[in-house]
Amino acid sequence: MGHVMQISADCFVHAGIACMSCRDACPEQAIAMQPRIGAPFLPRIDTASCTGCAACSASCPADAIMAVKRETEEREVEDA
């Protein structure tokens, strides 16, 4: 796909609220939760594994996950 998902600052963990809905929803295991000291785990999307299926976006209670253009494909277009 020509896009991947990106997590915005609206994600609950930035407000100190633990959430792993997106990680649990991803069929590709492309979202890892990064441990942090004194704060909820931070979701990180592995863009190489992300297929852009949007299951994470649909599961996010904060509406914090959106599609962005995949950078590698942008470069390929520019190189063409």
Detail the DSSP E strand segments found in the chain. Answer: 3-7, 31-36, 39-45, 65-69
Q: Which helix (H) or strand (E) holds 53?
A: none
Residue 6 is a binding residue for ligand SF4 (CB under 6 A): no
Site string for ligand SF4, 33-72 (x = CB under 6 A): ----------x-x----xxxxxxx--xxxx-xx-------
Closest C-alpha to 41, from 32, 49, 52: 32
Task: Give me the residues that bind ligand SF4 (CB under 6 A), please.
Answer: 5, 7, 11-13, 19-22, 25-26, 28, 30-31, 43, 45, 50-56, 59-62, 64-65
